[in-house]
Amino acid sequence: MAYLPNTPHLRAEMLSALGVESAEELIDRQVPGKLKFQGLLNLPAPLSEMELLEELERDAACNQPAGDMLNFLGAGVYDHFVPSAVQRIISRSEFYTSYTAYQPEASQGMLQATYEYQSLICALTGMDVANASNYDGATSLAEAAILCVSATGRRGIVLSGAVHPAYRKVVETYTKGLGSNIRTVPTPDGVTDPNTLGELLAEARSGEEPPAAVVIQHPNYFGCLEDVSAVAAKAHDAGALCVVCVNPISLGILVPPGSCGADVVVGEGQPLGSPMNYGGPLLGIFACREEHVRRMPGRIIGATTDAHGRRAYCMTLQTREQHIRRERATSNICTNEALVALAAAVYLSLMGKHGLRRVAELCLQKAHYAARRISELRGYKLAFSAPFFNEFTVETPVPASRIVSELSQEGILPGRDLSLDFAVGNNGQEVLKDARRPNFLLLVCVTERRTKAQIDRLVEALSRYQPDSG
């Protein structure tokens, strides 16, 4: 077998050194007979490498990847251009076959790259410190809420209704052990209204669960830009911390949350140089103000010196972590998303100051062109009036589900049918103050990969649906 280097002859030598007849004998001396599995596992017969490739090609043929379609789907995972150098670098097996740098002298490359990733994230978000990565934007957001609970000694969590619905679900699951009370700020206008938030905070403050965290997404799930400064001010007035979840590409053009009063900035890092991969692996960005550094979850890399006084790197503040602190750790995270963070570091280095700005501008211009064209169609209009970056919500003349299902058959993914997120339970009522409205909402995303001709094709396809066409 190709992955097992010991030959029968070598095995025999080893067994003889051990004075046993077989590996099974070694196992039988430890595993009680009654526990031993009889026979063979019910799994498919082995395949050679060639047969495996052929078999997987058949499976692959049953997929129609969004990356090859006319794709206007975003909603948390984005179809951006990835420069070839990114994949080349993360395919260096010195990187991808290594593990957590428990021995820093053996892992200087990964450690330095992660230190650079942390620095780049700080530059992008305007925050003081960043960790080495979390699993994804959703768990980063949940960890941020938990940081706020621990920093304030309070348990209330206030989430904007315009936070990604799946992220809200993850926060609900993650905070089950804290006994936290999660309140949702309704966002019928597509944005978090600071006054509505203020009222809710005042109510929460006088209640049994004073707020520890106010969480918004910017740009939010509907694509709209939030008034981060106003939200942060309301949060601080109520004695809570402000968590902002970002799309890192948008920070090529938007004022960073660090300049608007955010205490913790999290986000989904997949747009920074990683393919969509059916939604995983992703990259949880996590950055915060210096004063919270000892409450940060996960690995943190620090620069130091070696015995000769040369610059060197290692994991630091490990006394926060599970392998040292056990049940008193700030989080249970161990393996995180180091290789995806490396991809982000390479991507941000290649893009640099001018490239990231350019990508953000392309996204912005193309999305606004698409939004203009679509809103000119009879029966369509922008659902919200707030400014947006590269995603926007449109009201459709017929149920969005119908548009998505019909157009996907001709190779167009027109966007996310929001009834999937808001028409279940009382989500639509809670967030949009209207349980029926989400059926007619389509969330459209335009990245720099979409050309004018492709946008025009989407507009043409959408124009076939008219208010009276059912």
Partner 1 sequence: MLQPVTEPTIAELSAEGRVGVSLPRCDVPEAPLEELIPKEQIRTDLPLPEVSEPDVVRHFTRLSQRNVGIDTHFYPLGSCTMKYNPKVNEEIASWRAFSGLHPYQPEETVQGALRILQSLERFLCEIGGMDAASLQPAAGALGEFTGLLIIRAYHADRGESHRNLVLVPDSSHGTNPATAARCGYQVVKVASDERGRVDLGDLERHLSDHVAALMMTNPNTLGVFEDQIQEVCELAHSRGVQVYCDGANMNAVLGICRPGDMGFDVMHFNLHKTFSTPHGGGGPGSGPVAVKSHLEPYLPVPRLREEGGILRWNYNYPKSIGRVHPFYGNFAVALRAYCYIRQLGPEGLRSVSEDAVLNANYLLKLLVDGGADKGLELPYPAPCMHEFVLSAAEHKKATGVRTADIAKRLLDYGFHPPTVYFPLIVEEALMIEPTETVSKETLDAFAQALLTILDEDPGVVKNSPHTAPVSRVDEVKAARELNLRW
Residues in 193-222 that interact with partner 1 by CB under 8 A: none
Integer CA distances (angstroms), 85 to 82, 111, 115, in order: 8, 20, 20
Q: Does 345 bind partner 1 (CB under 8 A)?
A: yes
β-pair partners for 104: none
Closest distance to partner 1 from the beta carbon of 236 (Å): 19
Interaction residues for partner 1, span 254-293 (CB under 8 A): 254-256, 268, 275-282, 293
Residues of this chain, 224-253, that bind partner 1 according to CB under 8 A: 225, 251-253
Rounded-to-integer distance, Cα 213 and Cα 387, Å: 25
Q: Using the rule CB under 8 A, which residue among 8, 35, 153, 208 binds partner 1?
A: 35
Query: Is 24 or 199 the residue whose CB approaches partner 1 more closely?
Result: 24
Choices 22-30, 185-193, 207-215, 234-242; region in contact with partner 1 by CB under 8 A: 22-30
DSSP tag of 137? H
Radius of gyration of the chain, Cα coordinates, nearest whole angstrom: 25
Q: Is residue 53 at the binding interface for partner 1, with CB under 8 A as the rule? A: yes
Q: Which of 80, 155, 164, 437 binds partner 1 (CB under 8 A)?
A: 164
Identify the CA nearest to 192 among candidates 155, 234, 154.
234
Q: Which of 205, 236, 289, 358 binds partner 1 (CB under 8 A)?
A: 358
* Least distance from partner 1 to the Cβ atom of residue 443, Å: 9
Q: Identify which range of 53-61, 155-163, 188-196, 208-216 contacts partner 1 by CB under 8 A.
A: 53-61
Residue 436 corresponds to which amino acid? R
Q: Does 124 bind partner 1 (CB under 8 A)?
A: yes
348 in contact with partner 1 (CB under 8 A): yes
Task: Give the integer Cα–Cα distance in Å for 172 and 186.
Answer: 17
**Cβ closest to partner 1, residue 138 vs residue 374:** 138
Q: How far is the CB of 206 from partner 1 (least distance, A)?
A: 26
Q: Does 460 bind partner 1 (CB under 8 A)?
A: no
The residue among 203 and 361 lying less far from partner 1, judged by its C-beta, is 361
Q: Is 95 in the site for partner 1 (CB under 8 A)?
A: yes
CA distances from 133 to 51, 159, 245, 313, 462 (A): 37, 22, 14, 17, 39
Q: Considering the complex, what minimum distance in angstroms separates the CB of residue 26 from partner 1?
A: 5
Look at the alpha carbons of 141, 147, 151, 153 in this order and tell me if their dihedral is positive or negative.
positive
Could you tell me the smallest distance in angstroms from the CB atom of residue 266 to partner 1?
12
Q: Could you tell me how many residues of this chain bind partner 1 (CB under 8 A)?
A: 205
CB of 203 to partner 1, least distance (A): 26
Token code pair at residue 414: 């027109």
Q: How far is CA 173 from CA 143, 166, 194, 219, 226, in A?
A: 11, 11, 27, 24, 25
Q: Which residues contact 145 (CB under 8 A, 6 or more apart)?
A: 157, 171, 174, 175, 180, 212, 213, 215, 243
Residue 306 engages partner 1 in binding (rule: CB under 8 A)? yes
Which of 4, 426 has the CB closer to partner 1?
Answer: 4
Q: Give the three-state DSSP class for 382.
A: strand
CB of 200 to partner 1, least distance (A): 23
One residue of 207, 239, 323, 464 binding partner 1 per CB under 8 A: 323
Residues 58, 56: Cα–Cα separation, whole Å: 5
What distance in Å separates the CA atoms of residue 303 and residue 136, rounded to the nearest whole number? Answer: 25
- Residue span 365-384 as binding mask against partner 1, x where in contact by CB under 8 A, dash where not: xx-xx---------------
Give the interface segment with partner 1, choosing from 153-161, 192-200, 209-217, 331-339 (CB under 8 A): 331-339
> Does 385 participate in binding partner 1 (rule CB under 8 A)?
no
Q: Is 352 left (phi over 0), alpha (psi -120 to 50) or beta?
A: left
Q: Measured from the CB of residue 195, what is the shortest distance to partner 1 in angstroms?
A: 18
Q: At a CB cut-off of 8 Å and minimum separation 6, what does 225 contact? A: 191, 218, 219, 254, 386, 387, 388, 389
Task: Establish if 438 lies at the interface with partner 1 (CB under 8 A).
Answer: no
Question: Which is closer to partner 1, CB of 75 or CB of 235?
Answer: 75
329-356 CB burial, b ≥16 within 10 A, e <16:
bbbebeebbbbbbbbbbbbbbbbeeeeb
Asked whether the beta carbons of 215 and 160 are under 8 A apart, the reply is: yes
